A and B are shown apart, each in its own frame.
Chain A
Amino acid sequence: MPRHDRLPQSKPPAGRERSATCSRRALICAALSSAAAVAAGCGTAGRSSRVELRYMAWGNPEQLGVEQQLVDGFNRQNRDIHVRLFRVPASAYLNKAIIMLASRTAPDVIRIDHYNFPNLVRKEYFRDLSPFADSDAQFDKADIFPAALQEGMYRGRLYGLNVLLGGVMMYYNKALFAAAGQPDPYRLWMERRWTWDRLREAAIAISRHAPDGRPERLGVQIPTFPHNAYILWAFGGEILSADGKHCLLNSPGCARAYQFLADLRWKDRVAPTPSQGALSAFGFESGKLGMTFDWMGMAPRFRRAVKSFDWDVCPVPYGPAGGAGILKGNQLVMSAETAYPEKAWRFMRYLTSARTEAMLYGDKLRRGDPARRSVARSQEFLHASRPPYNTGAYLSALENGRLLPIDARWQEWSTVLNAELDELWGGRDLDAARVLARAASKVDAVLASEEGF
């Protein structure tokens, strides 16, 4: 039997006009009802019970692709939550985040670079995560490295979960070391013999200049502050006092450390000057540089770009006062305005779980260092099928690394400091003690000034 036969017959219309009007009205009503039903139906069957969360992050297309994979994985596992990745270009990220936080329209979960975390956390934009972290058995707070936990703390409470933790490593060109007859620095480091003096020897041996004096290859790239803070510590210096109110760069240890770096460039001529190094003329990928210091997260880029020589990583050299490196990460924070704190926490827990960390930081991606000890000591992290092979260097960076003294006014005083240090790195004043004395007094002036003016 044909299907329409079963349908109830409608009453015949009273008149042609009325019939037309009614049918038009009926059509419109039916269309609207259908649309409402479809919308409601979709909600019921699909997302009506699903809470939508927004997660804000930045990165290059490849990194954001990984973030999207993580989000998709979470959405598949959690039928009651749908997370939407909110991508903002890196150049506009901070301003966007601050404006959204200030206007109370921020996404539920936000990734914040630690350079900005201390300034934002005190404005009560973020939700205190301590109640979640302390009561959630699945979170395992004790598994997290103390330094990684510390970065997300404010006034004794946890406000940020560390992700993309990174240490500054020394990347070295193994081919140039071998050609210069220099021993492998990682082997020396394991014997605690990889020192700043040995680095200088290696840099001199690697460097080569043309007869007209122009460099053909150079030993080491000198990083600027704060990416060279470890040499200050290695020579017994400190950056700020423990209370953060005074600059301590005007000390013999700091002067010795920065004098050493300046001399590598201007006396030994084994490090590119600003103009020699401009526009990556002596970038590590060029094969014309023996050593460079950079974040651990640079490994994927070097893997892609370096095809013509062997390379690896090594912790920063030892100095008279030790060999601690820098540690710094990003913080995942929860907006204080989120309507779904429990669900946002579940997403944050997922992003910082051992499983996610193993995926992000393992041999395949190497996007940074794990914040969890269990991952850092796992074979998934320590095994390497391609460079960098010296994964023990990462573990050491995590276990011995120190945090930078990043405070709420970091942007301001570090800008002032770097403007003064330009004199030393630019070779206009080669007396590190004098430059640091000037710099310290200017940083002190910033720290002592009333905030906000």
Chain B
Amino acid sequence: MAALTVRRRSLSGREARFGLAFIAPWLAGFLVFALGPMLASLYLSFCKYDLHRLEWVGAENYRRLLTADPLFWRALQNTVVYVAISVPLGLAGSLAIAVLLNQNVRGQRLFRTLFYLPSLVPAVASSLLWLWVLNSENGLLNYGLSLAGLPHRLCPRWLEDPVWTLPAFVLMSLWGVGGARMVIFLAGLQGIPESYYEAAHIDGATSWQKFWFVTIPMLSSTIFFNLILGVIGSFQVFTSAYVMTSGGPGNASLFYVLYLFRNAFEYFKLGKASAMAWILFAVLLGFTMIQFRQAHRWVHYEGGDE
């Protein structure tokens, strides 16, 4: 028995060594390219640093950001509003498309490919495309609105009017509803046993009731997963604002990461930018924890209650 235990131990030790050897490249990459820079940025967030002189300033970067930098709050506000609108809309859009693409119709694969295609367009290219679409004078969107009967003078000045700038970015974010999020929903939908729908059908459920009482509960863990990723991803919105508006007009599209980028790579305030990165980390962690705490109320895992 003892010999067997020893043998098992040595075997597991050997397996562990193999395991470690296999993950070593990833581990090395993580330490050098992720954990190392993260710890360095944590240290820098307590310093004044412009790549030339390093001066320890304690929590001064955090204090000034939170109490004396109106642009920090403006950027955070813009981002939170953007997240609050774009994430639910994006989730709903992706789910709707996934449900449609899950129907057994002719050309199903073609439709799936077509809906996925926009997410393959590089962010810079799609930003330039949207510059055309959102142009208030000659853009496709306002042209469509004028065809629908809205006089040209009443059409929104999307990227020129601060009131319409955030809605424009939200609208643009829907460009990606057919991407990875939709694929995850599609996989989730295909994992729902057909027998549940058959049982609901026998009970006389309508299509809407089937969707609401079978599909949504069965997809709740997938929705939760996409929600977490969506919030984290939307908080990091950058490329479109950088390419299209540079944060304008009048800081209406100054998103958090854009302001962080400016501080780091235009003003070379790397200490302040590091502090901003850690505040963003704390905000995201807070949001994620809240979502996890609330999850038990609406997220159902098959067999999870046992």
Contacts and interface: CB of A to CB of B under 8 A. Distances in A.
Contacts of A119: 268
Contacts of B249: 274, 422-423, 426, 428
A415 interface: yes
B300 interface: no
**Dominant secondary structure at the B interface:** loop
Nearest to A416: B71
Contact of A279 (B60, B131, B157, B251): B131
A419 B247 contact: yes
**Dominant secondary structure at the A interface:** helix
A273 B135 CA distance: 11
B52 interface: yes
B267 A411 contact: yes
A178 interface: no
Interface stretch (A4-12, A95-103, A303-311, A349-357): A95-103
Contacts of B210: none
B56 interface: no
B111 to A, nearest CB: 32
A162 B138 CA distance: 42
Contacts of A99: 51
B215 to A, nearest CB: 43
Given A279-B135, A411-B266, A426-B249, A453 B52 contact: no
Contacts of A420: 250
B269 interface: yes
Interface residues of B, number: 37
A175 interface: no
Nearest to A419: B251
A278 interface: yes
Interface in B219-255: 247-251, 254
A95 B267 contact: no
A276 interface: yes
Interface size class of A (residues with CB under 8 A): 20 to 34
B161 interface: yes
A422 B248 contact: yes
Nearest to B136: A275
Interface string B134-165: 01111100000000000010000101111000
Interface in A273-315: 273-276, 278-279, 281
Contact of A275 (B49, B60, B135): B135
Interface string A210-241: 00101000000000000000000000000000
Nearest to B74: A419
A252 B276 CA distance: 39
Contacts of B247: 419
A426 B135 contact: no
Nearest to B250: A422
Given A275-B136, A452-B269, A452-B271, A123 B157 contact: no
B135 A278 contact: yes
A279 B132 contact: yes
B160 A275 contact: yes
A276 B248 CA distance: 17
The 6 closest A-B pairs by CB, nearest first: A102-B51, A275-B137, A422-B249, A452-B48, A275-B136, A123-B52
5 contacts: A123-B52, A212-B152, A422-B248, A423-B250, A428-B161
